[in-house]
Each structure stands twice: as C-alpha cells, then as structure tokens.
Amino acid sequence: MPGPSPGMRIPRTLILPLLLAASCQSPYGEEAGFTTLWDGADSPGWRMAGPGEFVIEGKTAYAQGGMGLWWYSGRDYENFSLRLQWQVTDASNNSGVFVRFPDPGDDPWIAVNEGYEIQICDTAQDKHNTGSVYNFQGPSSVPTRPVGEWNDYEITVVGQSYTIRVNGTVVNQFEGERSARGYVGLQNHDDVSAVRYRNIRIKEL
C-alpha cells in the first residue's frame, strides 16, 4: 500500500492507532500457526508458583515481588517457537522466560533447576544478561530497544537446539541437555523489577 504523498497530512485522530499497530507488529513476519497463550485480558491456564504475583493491567501483565513463576499449565510442549513482547522501566530490571520445565507445583525453583531460563537484564554480564541461557551461555549481542519501548523475543526449540532472537536478531544458539519437553512461564524476580509482558503466543514445530 503506497504511503501518503509529499505534503499530505495524516489526521491526528489516525496517528495514535497507526503507532499502536506498528508497536504490535512482529519483526518475525508470518504469524500463521501461532496460538495465543495469553491475550492481555483473561488468563485461563496460568498459575502462580512461589511469592509475588503478575498484575494484569492495560492488556499487559507486570511482575511484582518474587522470586516467583507465572506459568502456563494448559499443556506442556516439545518442539516449538515461543514469541512474546516485554518492556522494562530500567535497564537493570531482571526477569526471564522459562521453558521446558516440569509441573512446578508451588516451587519456582523447579523451573530454575530443571528447565532453562532465557534471561532479561541488560546490565548483567555474559551468561546473565538479556538473550542468555541463564548460567549456561551468554548472547552474542544485546540488541534491545531503549527503556520504555517494547522488545520482541522469539525462542525456538527443536530437540536440544535452542535459538534465541531479540527484536528479530539471532543472539544465541545453544545445545542443551535437559528435558526435551515441558511447560513455559515467566519470572517475577524482585520488588523493583516490574517487567511487563504481552502478546504471548506459541507454535508447535
């Protein structure tokens, strides 16, 4: 679709909807085959393990307290591509996306010790910063957007191969050795890391 011709003004009433549409657009292109795990309103199947909570507000879920785990109990997954968006209020905010962990009950450390955490924290070092497989392998780069803007994660898992993309850029390719199947979830790390999430969807491969 062609853009506006030179000198043509876009009505102010259209500017905000256009910006919102652009902010939700995936950098990964085609979204066919993806299933929404959380739509920004209802949260069937999502459970809290450990202290703290995730607060639903304005079609986002933000972390409070911790260290806890908000996980999707609807089913577990083997090979998949998981896509979501996150936003921080400070570069030091700490959170993460857990994959392939067993049913944790009320113990978030099961996800830590038996699954893998794909980290969010721009000010950490090497194996603990954004795009790392926490404690196992650091990212090649950290192409996050400025504080306050939304970032896109894509975590693709096939067999024991983990490919991590931040804003469309491959930052980590890791060979694991833990369970080949499990649940997915989000970490609430501490009182000051109110990381927000939205647009959580998954595709089986």
Question: Where would I find the H helices in 79-137?
Answer: 109-114
The residues near 68 (Cβ < 8 Å, ≥ 6 apart) are 48, 49, 50, 51, 52, 53, 108, 187, 188
* CATH code for the domain in which residue 178 is found: 2.60.120.560
What's the confidence (pLDDT) of residue 7? 46
Asked, for residue 9, whether it belongs to a domain, the answer is: no
pTM of the model: 0.86
Asked, for residue 104, whether it belongs to a domain, the answer is: yes
User: Given a cut of 90, is residue 116 above it in pLDDT?
Assistant: yes
Q: What percent of the chain clears pLDDT 90, i.e. is strictly above it?
A: 81
Pairing, β 161-166 against β 182-188: unpaired
Identify whether the C-beta of residue 59 lies closer than 8 Å to the C-beta of residue 20.
no
User: Given a cut of 70, is residue 94 above it in pLDDT?
Assistant: yes
Asked, for residue 6, whether it belongs to a domain, the answer is: no
Q: pLDDT for 52-82, tens place per residue?
A: 999 999 899 999 999 999 999 999 999 999 9
Beta bridge partners of 54: 63
Helix/strand/coil for 126 = helix
> Containing domain of residue 44, as a range?
32-204
Average pLDDT of the residues in 3-31: 48
